[in-house]
Amino acid sequence: MKCALIIPSWVPEDIFSSKTAGSQINYWQPLGTLYVASSLMKAGHDVRFLNGAFMTHSGIMAELRSYKPEFAGIY
């Protein structure tokens, strides 16, 4: 099965107040999502991981239209 695991694109100002947004920039490793991807791959599924920390919303949507997953998980 073709699976897409997605962390939507965002900027700190979308979530945090303008006073603290600058201090919230932290590109952590999304280990939970990567563990799910690993489990799906071990089960024989084709997995794409789309990380919005490094992709725009339109880039993610273009990748989804091209890849056409049967399953999509959004964190």
* Local confidence band at 17 (pLDDT 50, 70, 90 cut-offs): low
Ordered by start, the domain boundaries in the chain are 2-18+28-46+56-74
* Local confidence band at 51 (pLDDT 50, 70, 90 cut-offs): very high
CA distances from 11 to 14, 23, 52, 61, 69 (A): 6, 12, 9, 17, 26
Rounded to an integer, what distance in angstroms lies between the CA atom of residue 30 and that of residue 7? 9
Rounded to an integer, what distance in angstroms lies between the CA atom of residue 2 and that of residue 22? 37
- pTM for the whole thing? 0.78
Quick one: pLDDT at residue 44? Answer: 98
pLDDT value at 15 more than 70 = no
Quick one: pLDDT at residue 30? Answer: 86
Q: Where are the alpha helices (DSSP H) in the chain?
A: 12-15, 31-42, 57-67
